[in-house]
Amino acid sequence: AAGVIQSPRHLIKEKRETATLKCYPIPRHDTVYWYQQGPGQDPQFLISFYEKMQSDKGSIPDRFSAQQFSDYHSELNMSSLELGDSALYFCASSSTGGRSYEQYFGPGTRLTVT
């Protein structure tokens, strides 16, 4: 079965640079989520989109922005990168049909800021 695709898988940036993470949800899934997992921590919710509209917002810095496009893929844009932004960034998708609401995660993008 198709899974969530994230690119790139690894990214190395310097402080103050910009990064763009991409997410391609499972086909026919209408909701996309972004989570950030720091070293030794649990995933923290950043932002979500339902049918291309922002549906919820968590602890996302103002330096970060995200959107979902007409083909349902989503991008997380991160500017003025800081050392503390180094983390594993997950995208997850789900379908509201059937009310199961199970979220399926992509493999993550490991961002290292030096």
Residues in contact with other proteins by the rule CB under 8 A: 31, 33, 35, 37, 41-45, 48, 50, 55-56, 58, 88, 90, 92, 94-96, 100-105, 107-108, 110
Whichever of 18 and 54 has its CB closer to other proteins, that residue is 54
CB of 104 to other proteins, least distance (A): 7
CB of 84 to other proteins, least distance (A): 19
The whole-angstrom separation of Cα 100 and Cα 113 is: 37
Whichever of 56 and 82 has its CB closer to other proteins, that residue is 56
The torsion of the CA quartet 29, 100, 41, 38, rounded to 10 degrees, works out to: 10
Q: How many CB atoms lie within 10 A of CB 47?
A: 22
Contact 95, 68 (CB under 8 A): no
Q: Which two tokens stand for residue 5?
A: 């695709």
CB of 10 to other proteins, least distance (A): 12
